[in-house]
Amino acid sequence: MKCATVDNPMRRLELSEGDAVGALEVCEDIDAKCAFQPPTSDDLMMAMSSLEPEQASSSAAREVKGVKGTSLGGERPKLTVVHRQQHWIAKLQDRGDPPHAPLREYLAMRLAKRCGIRAAEVEFKLVGDREIVLVRRFDRTVNEQGLVSRKLYASAHTVLRLDTQVRGDPQRSYIALSNELQRWCARAGYDAKDQQRELWRRMAFNAIVGNADDHPRNHGLLYENGGWVLSDAFDIAPYITFSRTLSMAITREGSLEATAGNLLRNCANFHYEDEEARQYIKTTVSSIQSEWPKELASVGMPPDAVAPPVMDWLGDAPVLGKAR
């Protein structure tokens, strides 16, 4: 029986695969959940290579042995696979996706790491003309005996105690999340300063690269070494047409507008001095412009396969040397 054909929500949770994010599962038969075995990345790529041209890439996920669906969520087809003896998420290009969606996410994630962000490890694969981006799961660890350890995870949606995914909620903001980091991390004796500074860099990078999919479920905290810390950054995917607004508010006043002035306005709330934050913006812009074509070349793609983000809006504060 497939989860999609079941009307009862609790029954769907019971039948879903044991690959949900974090360490919690809602079920009666925990042994069945723990027995979940993802396919290998080789199995997936072999299935993709056998698809007919008119078949969607998501067909390969359904055809891989043992895969009935996925509880990972999101708009793009994705599934957990075993890759390099660890659990990774494979994201596929499917019908209706913007061109080169997996490639654009790969580029952004690689550049985020270059720009001082603790981003999840990624790899890019090409099966014929079908793209896959592999993202290593930060909430799973597989030991040498093949046993899987799960880490506790709390999304920013949970941390901020949000009821709905609606823009405009005063709690749906980076500043509110920064304040919560101070509370959550301090419980275990952590100094939240480094976590808050990391969060500001993620906010700034999302604005610079044009990732408007930065909603609260795409940020989260992991429980590690007796305390909560920001999880690795994930789901950084530049929009082809960026409206210059983020999904979470940037300023205390609730502005979503991704301008350099807004990024600088409340940077002190994240323990960044104005000049240091200004320098980060300028350095990040320069790094993206110079490294984007190099990252494309590193995976064998032509330099014009994906255009770099348009960052002309950054001409205000960094170039003029003052915040608006």
Q: Which residue matches tokens 């290998």?
A: 40
Residues 6+ apart with CB under 8 A from 127: 45, 48, 49
Residues near 216 by Cβ (< 8 Å), separated by ≥ 6?
A: 155, 156, 157, 159, 160, 162, 165, 172, 177, 247, 248
Locus of tokens 């952004």: 108
Per-position pLDDT tens, the chain of length 324 = 455 555 677 776 677 777 888 877 777 777 877 778 899 999 999 999 999 999 999 889 888 855 454 444 445 688 999 999 999 999 999 878 889 999 999 999 999 999 999 999 999 999 999 999 999 999 999 999 988 999 999 999 999 999 876 766 778 999 999 999 999 987 666 789 999 999 999 999 999 999 999 999 999 999 988 889 999 999 999 999 898 999 999 999 999 999 999 999 999 999 999 999 999 999 999 999 999 999 999 999 999 999 999 877 665 544 435 434
Strand 153-155 with 148-150, pairing: unpaired
pLDDT of residue 211: 96
Report the DSSP beta bridge partners of residue 221: 154, 230
Per-residue pLDDT at 69: 47
The residue type of 64 is V
Domain 14-142 fold is Phosphorylase Kinase; domain 1 (3.30.200)
Domain boundary assignment for the chain: 14-142, 152-320
Q: Is 17 exposed, middle or buried (0-12, 13-18, 19+ CB in 10 A)?
A: buried
Q: Which CATH class is domain 152-320?
A: mainly alpha
Residue 121 to residue 126: CA distance in whole angstroms: 17
Model pLDDT, residue 62:
86
d(CA 309, CA 226): 39
The CA–CA distances, whole Å, from 130 to 54, 84, 125 equal 12, 21, 8
pLDDT of residue 165: 66
183 Cβ neighbours under 8 A, 6+ residues apart: none
Q: State the pTM of this model.
A: 0.90
Contacts of 322 (CB under 8 A, 6+ apart): none
Q: Where are the alpha helices (DSSP H) in the chain?
A: 9-15, 30-34, 41-49, 58-63, 101-114, 156-159, 174-186, 193-209, 260-265, 274-298, 317-320
| CA 193/CA 95 separation, integer angstroms | 43
| 95 CA to centre of own chain | 21
